[in-house]
């Protein structure tokens, strides 16, 4: 299992005013299964969050997004948390992987 992260492309123009940080895709073996969401102008605590796609039957699809309770001061802190806890997360949930575009 190879865990990697890919930062979003930096925004330009006036979008940067309200969205000054970049989020990151969470990938396992090159397939996206989660996201580190960056704080923006609407985020109350100005911290990074972690979301994963898990397999769970819904009305319209076979997966849903879950948000972990932990909040982090930086992208690096969130990445470190994922690296240290990915095995526990995978034991508890069956991850859904998104197809390449």
pLDDT digit string, tens, across residues 46-92: 999 999 999 998 888 999 999 999 999 999 999 999 999 999 999 99
Q: Which residues contact 58 (CB under 8 A, 6 or more apart)?
A: 64
Q: How far apart are CA 27 and CA 25, in angstroms?
A: 6
Q: Which residues contact 101 (CB under 8 A, 6 or more apart)?
A: none
Q: Are 47 and 71 in contact (CB under 8 A)?
A: yes
pLDDT digit string, tens, across residues 1-54: 899 999 999 888 888 888 888 999 999 999 999 999 999 989 999 999 999 999
Q: Where are the domains of the chain?
A: 3-92
């Amino acid at each position: 299992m190879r865990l990697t992260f890919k930062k979003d492309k930096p925004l330009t123009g006036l979008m940067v005013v309200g969205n000054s940080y970049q989020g990151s895709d969470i990938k396992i073996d090159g397939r996206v299964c989660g996201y580190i969401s960056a704080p923006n102008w609407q985020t109350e605590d100005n911290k990074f969050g972690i979301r994963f796609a898990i397999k769970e039957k819904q009305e319209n699809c076979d997966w849903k997004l879950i948000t972990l309770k932990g909040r982090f001061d930086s992208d690096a802190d969130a990445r470190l948390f994922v690296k240290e806890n990915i095995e526990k997360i995978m034991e508890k949930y069956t991850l859904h992987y998104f197809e390449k575009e």
